[in-house]
Structure 1
Amino acid sequence: MTNQIYPCLWFDGQAQAAAKFYCSIFRKSKITADNQMVVTFELNDTKFMALNGGANFNFNEAVSFVVDCETQEEIDHYWHSLMAEGGQESHCGWLKDKFGVSWQIVPTVLPKLLSDPSKAKKVMEVYLKMKKFDIKALENA
């Protein structure tokens, strides 16, 4: 038996809107079920559940979703799309979307740059000053 593990996101009546919003951003995505209380959807082949659970709980940075990006174009796409309609940018690739869900938009080259002893300190100094990551600036550090 396979036990799939996936996140359930608690919304205050916005589960359908959130699922549609996320599916509009990620290229390989779809809503797989919607019964007004619970919406299941997939983003890049990862299953999610959105629950219309009420106003009891709010999202915070204790849980975030990481989006690995190969190119600056990908970073720009996810950053601007997730920030649309009232998102809030933070530091070091973090943002909150209009629903309050936290995301990290991260270049895949970052671990390699940080593992290079000759560059790591400078790369860290540069990225700690960034909000949205700039791959060229990181590579030139």
Structure 2
Amino acid sequence: MPKTKICIWYDWDAEGAARFYAETFPDSEVLAVSTAPSDFPQGDKDAVLTVEFTVLGIPCLGLNGGPERPHSEAFSFQVATDDQEETDRYWNAIVGNGGAESQCGWCRDRWGVSWQITPRTLTEAMSAGGNEAKRAFEAMMQMRKIDVAAIDAARRG
């Protein structure tokens, strides 16, 4: 058992989110589902309270807390992708399952959790600094889903 994990508050569908992540990302699985041992003010006996899962190997706990704590971009999963195919696969899975596009490689899943689907070529360009980073950054600022070919072209100038 890991000493620490990320706890993510959900509006009563942590299990659905965890199962989607397990189906979508490698090294992801649902580990345990805990239910209420008796009725409680917000629910009934046997209602799902928490779900232990991993996303790309990261240990997480989904907490079914209700609508009081909505998600924001202050927390996101950043997924490094190797090519356009992998970028498209994750982006399309998230957005196509009731999610929403945002800018610069960001999107939200249907539960409101933010994701950054970031091709490694973009990260490498930003790390290179100078004009290469500037060109890649300016290209990225025009995108929703990252276009690997366009980033590579910007890197070359």
Q: What is the TM-score when the length of structure 2 is the normalising length?
A: 0.83
Give the letter for the 1:16 counterpart: E
Secondary structure at 2:8 match in 1: strand
- Of 98, 102, 105, 1:93 maps to 105
More helix by share: 2
Q: Deviations over 1:63-116 (max 9, x none)?
A: 111001111111011100111232110110000111110000001121322325
Classify 1:119/1:67 alpha carbon distance in 2 versus 1 (closer, same or farther; 3 Å): same
- Of 53, 59, 64, 1:41 maps to 53
Query: Structure 1 regions of 5+ residues with no counterpart?
Result: none
Q: Specify the alignment match of 1:8 in structure 2.
A: 7
Secondary structure at 1:37 match in 2: strand
| Count of residue pairs the alignment pairs up | 140
Query: Structure 2 regions of 5+ residues with no counterpart?
Result: 35-47
Q: Which structure's CA Rg is the greater one? A: 2
Once the two structures are TM-superposed, the CA of residue 118 in structure 1 deviates from its matched residue by 3.7
The question of whether the paired residues in 2 share the 8 Å contact of 1:60 and 1:102 is answered with: yes
Q: What is the TM-score when the length of structure 1 is the normalising length?
A: 0.92
Q: Specify the alignment match of 2:141 in structure 1.
A: 128
Runs of 4+ in 1 over 6 A off after TM superposition: none
Q: How does 1:45-124 map onto structure 2 within 5 Å? A: 45-114=57-126, 115-124=128-137
